Amino acid sequence: MTATDPNSLITDEMRAWVGRAVGPFPIPEQIAASDVRRFLDATGDDNPLWTDDDYARAAGYRQRAVPPMLILELYRRASGTGEEDAALWHELPWPPGHTDTRNAGNEVEWVAPVYLGDQLTVEHRIVDLVARRGRAGIGLYLTRESVFREQTGNVVVRLRATTVKLNLQATASAGHE
């Protein structure tokens, strides 16, 4: 590899982080009707799948379901989220100057419905680390997968989140502050 090869920034120590995982962390309470109600009030979503058991059963669900995007918000309540899960990617030994962190995309796979009363857990794993050259310089792209399970262990949601670490000085000089 040469100094101009973006992957030369990724050290063996950094590569060793791929595959690391934390969790599973439990979300401390079962999903309650009040959680759904507050989410619907905040979003303006009036889908009867979330509020009417008869409507949801007629659509093939066992009862009213939880809005899928609510699950991605509830995970922040899980014990261990914050320092422990963030340490999984923030503690990675990034090259000097690569401190400008940006969202580079998310992919969500809704595997199974989640219902009121479900008790979820979430586990995070680093699945990829690559370097790419772009307009703002060399970006280090970290992809992590979060897997949400309900109380019997069945997967209900998979989230693949990619962030990019840019060299703050290169970003500023390129006019992308």
Q: For the chain, what is the radius of gyration of the CA atoms?
A: 20
Q: How far apart are the first and last CA of the chain?
A: 30
C-alpha span between 73 and 58 (Å, rounded): 27
User: For the residues 137-156, what does the mean pLDDT come to?
Assistant: 95
Q: What tens digit of pLDDT does each residue of 105-140 get?
A: 999 999 999 999 999 999 999 999 999 988 888 899
Band (162; pLDDT cuts 50, 70, 90): very high
User: How much of the chain exceeds pLDDT 70, in percent?
Assistant: 87
Minimal CA–CA distance to 157: which of 89, 109, 120?
A: 109
Number of Cβ within 10 Å of residue 25's Cβ equals 20
Contact 62, 53 (CB under 8 A): no
pLDDT of residue 134: 85
pLDDT of residue 2: 46
Band (150; pLDDT cuts 50, 70, 90): very high
Contact 69, 106 (CB under 8 A): no
Q: What tens digit of pLDDT does each residue of 46-69 get?
A: 999 999 999 999 999 999 999 999
Q: Which fold has domain 6-31+77-173?
A: Thiol Ester Dehydrase; Chain A (3.10.129)
Helix-strand-coil percent breakdown of the chain, rounded to 5?
30, 35, 35
Contact 103, 165 (CB under 8 A): no
Is the pLDDT at 1 greater than 80? The verdict is: no
